[in-house]
């Protein structure tokens, strides 16, 4: 059994490292020719599509999150997601806060990709697998992805999720239902919301609408549209009844983080990719070891006296 273990371990380790070496070779080939358009963060089009999320209207019904899973053909379509992961491109968090008169209050917060105007993930991707479209969505091309996970490191909102189970690795994230938009349909989450908490329109229109709502509803909203200026602006915008810092929204400057990601990319392409490759290899190695150990335990149990066959 020890010999089999060793053989499996080495094979899995080599498989993981092979991916890493392939990715590293690809990185070396492209490191000197970072896509200039992508590094610039793609088009920052004010008339592109956007989503306005009004947290004062969200009841936490989860319809949007489940519609998202269905639209993106994710597994377990009836299970309510509790975080962004490869199975869920959006989720609704319930957060307890203390309101201005000291009472406890629950605020439901829909999370998803912010579709930044200057996306750090796009700047960080050396092979152009992520792209900001003129229509608004930041889309992903699995065919181009080498699994380096730079986009994960670069995203200031922790959005891209990595498919660890796949030796070649794939990134998962919301694409603003770009394929539905191409068919003149709204994103699935927008269509599913029964409470008017999600609005779809051009970013320009949504910003005007958000500011008009703040003015015409004194006391209902804080005077801040999250995403208007953060990291140079995002296509997903939020209205909130309380300061965003109380809801765990990252306090980011107005400068696009893309500039930061671009600088990191140019400085460390091979090093970061090598680290990502080794981490992937180790993950596969540990996972297989656990599987083999589990199988060995079951095998030993089934050979105990009195065990059912
Ligand atoms: S939120 Fe993250 S993944 Fe989405 S566009 Fe911005 S940087 Fe990219
Ligand atoms: S736009 Fe589409 S993929 Fe993005 S959160 Fe909404 S339903 Fe999900
Ligand atoms: S469907 Fe609308 S009300 Fe329900 S959780 Fe989503 S955003 Fe909130």
CA angle (47 as vertex; 42, 52 as ends), nearest 5: 100
Q: What ligand is nearest to the CA atom of residue 119?
A: 1
- Number of domains within the chain: 1
Whether residue 4 is contained in a domain is answered as no
Please report which confidence band the pLDDT of residue 119 belongs to, taking 50, 70 and 90 as the band edges.
very high
Which residue's CA is the closest to the ligand 1 atom numbered 8? 121
Q: What ligand is nearest to the CA atom of residue 69?
A: 2
Q: Which of 51-60, 161-170, 181-190, 290-299 has the lowest mean pLDDT?
A: 290-299
Whether residue 13 is contained in a domain is answered as no
- From the CB of 235, is ligand 2 less than 6 Å away? no
Pocket residue to mutate for ligand 3, from 66, 71, 110, most atoms within 8 A of Cβ: 110
- From the CB of 177, is ligand 2 less than 6 Å away? yes
Query: What string of H, E and C letters represents the secondary structure of the chain?
Result: CHHHHHHHHHHHHHHHHHHHHHHHHHHHHHHCCCCHHHHCCCCCCCCCEEEEEECCCCCCCCHHHHHHHHHCCCCCCCCCCCCCECCECCEEEEEEEECCCCCEEEEEEEECCCCECCCHHHHHCCCCCEEECCCCCEEECCCCCCCCCHHHHHCCCCCCEECCCCCCCCEECCCCCHHHHHCCCCCHHHHHCCCCCEEEEEHHHHHHHHHHHHHHCCCCCCCCCECCCHHHCECEEEECCCCHHHHCCCCCCCCCCHHHHHHHHHHCHHHHHHHHHHHHHHHHHHHHHHHHHHHHHHHHHHCCCCCCC
For 162-211, how does the pLDDT look when each residue is reduced to its tens digit (9 = 90+)?
Answer: 998 887 779 999 999 999 999 999 999 999 999 999 999 999 999 999 99
pTM: 0.76
Whether residue 286 is contained in a domain is answered as no
Range of the domain at 127: 34-267
Whether residue 295 is contained in a domain is answered as no
Whether residue 20 is contained in a domain is answered as no
Q: Domain containing 151 — which CATH number?
A: 3.30.70.20
For 252-288, how does the pLDDT look when each residue is reduced to its tens digit (9 = 90+)?
Answer: 999 886 555 555 555 555 545 555 555 555 555 555 5
What is the C-alpha separation between 173 and 84, in angstroms, rounded? 8
For 2-48, how does the pLDDT look when each residue is reduced to its tens digit (9 = 90+)?
Answer: 333 323 232 333 233 333 333 333 333 333 333 333 334 444 566 79
Whether residue 247 is contained in a domain is answered as yes
CA of 92 to the centre of ligand 3 (A): 8
Whether residue 58 is contained in a domain is answered as yes
Whether residue 28 is contained in a domain is answered as no
């Amino acid at each position: 059994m020890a010999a089999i273990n060793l053989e499996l371990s080495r094979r899995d380790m080599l498989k993981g490292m092979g991916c890493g070496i392939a990715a590293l070779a690809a990185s070396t080939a492209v490191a000197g020719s970072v896509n200039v358009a992508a590094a610039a963060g793609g088009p920052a089009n004010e008339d592109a599509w956007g989503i306005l999320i009004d947290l004062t209207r969200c009841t936490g019904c989860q319809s949007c999150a489940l519609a998202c899973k269905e639209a993106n053909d994710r597994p377990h379509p009836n299970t309510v997601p509790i975080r962004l992961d490869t199975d869920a491109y959006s989720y609704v968090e319930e957060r307890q806060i203390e309101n201005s008169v000291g009472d406890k209050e629950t605020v439901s917060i829909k999370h998803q990709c912010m579709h930044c105007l200057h996306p750090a993930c796009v700047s960080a991707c050396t092979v152009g697998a992520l792209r900001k479209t003129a229509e608004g969505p930041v889309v992903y091309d699995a065919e181009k992805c080498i699994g380096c996970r730079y986009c994960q490191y670069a995203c200031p909102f922790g959005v891209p999720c990595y498919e660890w189970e796949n030796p070649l690795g794939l990134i998962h994230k919301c694409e603003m239902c770009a394929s539905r938009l191409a068919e003149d349909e709204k994103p699935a989450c927008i269509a599913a919301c029964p409470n008017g908490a999600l609005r779809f329109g051009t970013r320009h229109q949504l910003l005007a609408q958000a500011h008009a709502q703040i003015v015409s509803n004194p006391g209902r909203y804080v005077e801040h549209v999250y995403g208007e200026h953060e990291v140079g602006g995002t296509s997903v915008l939020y209205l909130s009844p309380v300061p965003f810092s109380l809801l765990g929204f990252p306090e980011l400057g107005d400068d696009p983080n893309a500039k930061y990601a671009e600088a990191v990319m140019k400085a460390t392409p091979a090093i970061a990719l090598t680290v990502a490759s080794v981490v992937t290899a180790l993950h596969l190695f540990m996972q297989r070891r656990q599987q083999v150990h589990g199988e060995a335990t079951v095998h030993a149990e089934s050979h105990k006296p009195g065990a059912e066959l």
